[in-house]
Amino acid sequence: LEESPLDGIKVVVNDQDFSQVCADIDGPVGTPYENGLFRKKLALSQDCPHSPPKGYFMTKIFHPNVASNGEICVNTLKKDWNPSLGLRHVLSVVRCLLIEPFPESALNEQAGKMLLENYEEYARHARLYTGIHAKPKPKFKTGAISESTTALNVGQPNNETPGAIPSSVADIIRVITATEQIANVPVAAAAGSASVATTTQKREAGLAKVQADKKKVDARKKSLKRL
């Protein structure tokens, strides 16, 4: 199976337990299971191949021939079993079951009845299960972000000393400081103008007082001369 894999099927071998064989099955195109990824398990008995393996879907699926516990009902794994049949044939049969279910031998009676009476409703339920339970996990590229950052810094000299604030952070701090200084200029200028105005007012008041006192003194001198 590893040398000549089946179309839409990837076998996952457990080196610690050869009595169980798992496989990831792609949902066939044109079916309600399209774009889904379904994990299937085959449990091999001790007298295998004389007895058929038991098949289970590990991924939750809405299908007439799959029970609520994941058990698969297909004649190949029951009355039609033949010791000459290999795992390759079994996996192919199970994938074909996704293309053409057999509602007459349904383990999921609701799905079987719905398939016979209202295919559109059955397909809607199957697509809903597929979208919720069989959605393939996204593949993230490890280091993609760090590689992008490195690419942006190619050719940029690194003059920063260990423990120093990164240049980008320092630039931001300088901008903020400059902004604060500009914002404070009008306040300082206004404060300085107010101080100058107060000093001038005090000087003018002093001169007015001196002139008033001088007038008083001149008036007294005149009154003394008359005496």
Q: Which residues are catalytic?
A: 73
Name the strand (E) or helix (H) holding 110.
Answer: helix 109-117
Burial class of residue 92, CB neighbours in 10 A (0-12, 13-18, 19+): middle
Closest of 10, 28, 26 to residue 134, by C-alpha: 26
Burial class of residue 134, CB neighbours in 10 A (0-12, 13-18, 19+): buried
62 CB neighbour count, 10 Å cutoff: 22
- Residue 38 contacts residue 59 (beta carbons within 8 Å): yes
Instruction: Count how many Cα atoms sit within 13 Å of the Cα of residue 176 in the half-sphere of its side chain.
Output: 6
**Type of residue at 59:** T
What does the buried/exposed string (b/e) look like for 185-220 if buried means 16 or more CB atoms within 10 Å of the residue's CB?
A: eeeeeeeeeeeeeeeeeeeeeeeeeeeeeeeeeeee
